[in-house]
């Protein structure tokens, strides 16, 4: 475990290139479990979470090679172990999503129940109810979930909330079940779901509707060798754009899909950031203090919960009071106490953060509590006067590829002290 030492304030400037999407790669790697042959994935970021998903595939006897952002996944159909160890599921909630694909392909699977999570209660009831509708018998015992395929069933599944993970899990599982027709209503509409659909189509699955609230799947994998390039990471992109703006900097964030971040552009323009948005890059410039705004965090195409801590950091130094209502993970405010240690004035009432802008932040020792909170603290440390130490930064290696190098290239004075825990 290590920490970041950051000296501020700094004005971030220059160019930064966005990596492949973590949240698109993970469900696509999980969906490779239903493939009939080798899968090749490109533009996969080198991150701890990706490593965990690869470890899972290796633990169940898939042959995986990950080099230069390219993953080769080959199954050994004779020797697949359908028990996923607790140790791996504990590390990352998204690993739960191998349950349905594995059980669909091999008849049964056992995956540890994902534990609690620092950003709030994150149940898996939508996943389990959906699997039962698709014809699985699901039992939860001693912290493990067992799924057994009884009879593949066509179904119309209405999700109580547009859950990203449940939508991806159920569309992939349905895709593996030959002959069934499944409709998922109130589906999540995130770009990562569209990317997963593109991958499933390449496997020969008949599927449409991703990006809308209604996805239709005709189960059955037909094609053999498949190659797919993962979309850019919109959350990483948004984090760099916010960081440049928050430090009063000027730069270009490249290799993104700007359509995936329309809600961010809208908010940044209200704040007073100068933006020139092109298809695959954005020019950012900020002068003076940000104007206060009201933000409603909600499922796509709304403002993403995964950018909520970062934008909040920017607003701590606004010229007035801002409000952020968190509608996805109502208790995702662990970064607030840390930002307060740096001089921010924030109060939480009924899932809304009230942020009274202060003139400036001051460097302090703080704790990273989760992935995006840690990114937010890094931005705060760049804004703040003096030295900050951000502890528990291992979270950041779960989701930001080459984060130190990228911020240093923009002029960030950031040093990582400790053992490099991320993978090569």
Closest CA to 199 of 221, 232, 179: 221
Supply the minimum distance, in Å, between the C-beta of residue 114 and ligand UD1: 9
Supply the minimum distance, in Å, between the C-beta of residue 140 and ligand UD1: 13
Known catalytic membership, residue 117: yes
Contact set with ligand UD1 (CB under 6 A): 23, 26, 93-94, 121-127, 161, 163-166, 188, 305-306, 328-329
Supply the minimum distance, in Å, between the C-beta of residue 220 and ligand UD1: 25
Element (H, E) at 349: strand 345-349
Is 196:180 a contact under the CB 8 Å cutoff?
no
Active-site residue (options: 42, 58, 115, 117): 117
For 109, the 3-state DSSP assignment is strand
Measured from the CB atom, the residue of 293 and 371 that comes closer to ligand UD1 is 371
Supply the minimum distance, in Å, between the C-beta of residue 18 and ligand UD1: 16
Supply the minimum distance, in Å, between the C-beta of residue 162 and ligand UD1: 7
| CA separation, residue 316 to residues 183, 340, 373, 402 (Å) | 43, 9, 14, 27
Supply the minimum distance, in Å, between the C-beta of residue 118 and ligand UD1: 12
Cα gap 266→245, rounded to integer Å: 14
Element (H, E) at 136: strand 136-141
Supply the minimum distance, in Å, between the C-beta of residue 132 and ligand UD1: 13
Measured from the CB atom, the residue of 26 and 84 that comes closer to ligand UD1 is 26
H-type helices in 231-357, by residue range?
234-246, 262-271, 308-315, 335-341
Length, in residues, of the chain: 424
The arrangement of strands across the sheet holding 181-185 comes to 155-158, 181-185, 214-218, 206-208
Please list, residue by residue across 139-168, b when 16 or more beta carbons sit within 10 angstroms of its beta carbon and e when fewer do: eeeeeebbbebeebebbebebeebbbbbbb
Closest CA to 236 of 12, 8, 17, 81: 17
CA atoms within 13 A on the CB side of 409: 13
Measured from the CB atom, the residue of 64 and 187 that comes closer to ligand UD1 is 187
Measured from the CB atom, the residue of 241 and 364 that comes closer to ligand UD1 is 241
Helices (H) and strands (E) in the chain, counts: 14, 24
3-state class percentages of the chain: helix first, strand second, coil last, to nearest 5: 35, 30, 35
Cα gap 28→23, rounded to integer Å: 9
Measured from the CB atom, the residue of 370 and 416 that comes closer to ligand UD1 is 370
Supply the minimum distance, in Å, between the C-beta of residue 49 and ligand UD1: 8
Cα gap 140→161, rounded to integer Å: 22
Please list, residue by residue across 374-396, b when 16 or more beta carbons sit within 10 angstroms of its beta carbon and e when fewer do: bbbbbbbbbbbeeebbbbbbbbb
Measured from the CB atom, the residue of 91 and 93 that comes closer to ligand UD1 is 93
Catalytic residues: 117
């Amino acid at each position: 475990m290590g920490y970041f030492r950051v000296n501020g304030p700094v004005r971030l400037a220059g160019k930064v290139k966005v990596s492949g999407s973590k949240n698109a790669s993970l469900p696509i790697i999980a969906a490779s479990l239903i493939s009939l042959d080798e899968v090749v994935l490109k533009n996969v970021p080198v991150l701890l979470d990706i490593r965990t998903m690869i470890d899972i595939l290796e633990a169940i006897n898939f042959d995986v090679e990950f080099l230069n952002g390219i993953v080769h996944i080959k199954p050994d159909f004779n020797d697949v172990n359908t028990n996923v160890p607790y140790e791996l599921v504990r590390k990352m909630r998204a690993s739960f999503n191998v349950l349905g694909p594995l059980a669909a392909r091999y008849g049964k699977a056992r995956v540890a129940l994902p534990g609690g999570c620092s950003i709030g209660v994150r149940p898996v009831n939508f996943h389990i109810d959906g699997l039962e509708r698709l014809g699985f018998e699901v039992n939860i015992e001693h912290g493990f979930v067992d799924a057994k395929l009884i009879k593949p069933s066509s179904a119309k599944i209405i999700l109580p909330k547009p859950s990203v993970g449940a939508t991806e899990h159920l569309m992939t599982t349905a895709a593996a079940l030959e002959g069934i027709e499944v409709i998922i209503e109130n589906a999540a509409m995130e770009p990562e779901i569209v990317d997963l659909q593109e991958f499933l189509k390449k496997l020969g699955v008949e599927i449409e509707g991703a990006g809308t609230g209604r996805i239709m799947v005709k189960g059955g994998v037909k094609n053999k060798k498949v190659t797919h390039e993962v979309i850019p990471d919109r959350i990483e992109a948004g984090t760099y754009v916010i960081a440049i703006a928050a430090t009063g900097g000027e730069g270009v964030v490249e290799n993104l899909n700007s359509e995936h971040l329309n809600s961010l552009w809208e908010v940044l323009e209200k704040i007073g950031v100068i933006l020139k948005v092109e298809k695959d890059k954005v020019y950012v410039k900020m002068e003076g203090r940000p104007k206060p705004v009201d933000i409603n965090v909600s499922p796509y195409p709304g403002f993403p919960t995964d950018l909520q801590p970062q934008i909040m950091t920017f607003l701590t130094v606004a010229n007035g009071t801002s409000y952020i209502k968190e509608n996805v993970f109502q208790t995702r405010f662990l970064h607030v106490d840390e930002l307060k240690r740096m001089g921010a004035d924030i109060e939480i009432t009924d899932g809304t953060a009230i942020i009274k802008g202060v003139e400036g932040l001051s460097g302090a020792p703080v704790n990273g509590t989760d992935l995006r909170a840690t990114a937010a603290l890094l931005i705060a440390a760049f804004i703040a006067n003096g030295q900050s130490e951000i502890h528990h930064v291992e979270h950041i290696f779960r989701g930001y590829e080459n984060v130190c190098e990228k911020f240093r290239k923009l002029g960030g004075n950031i040093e990582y002290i400790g053992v490099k825990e991320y993978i090569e």
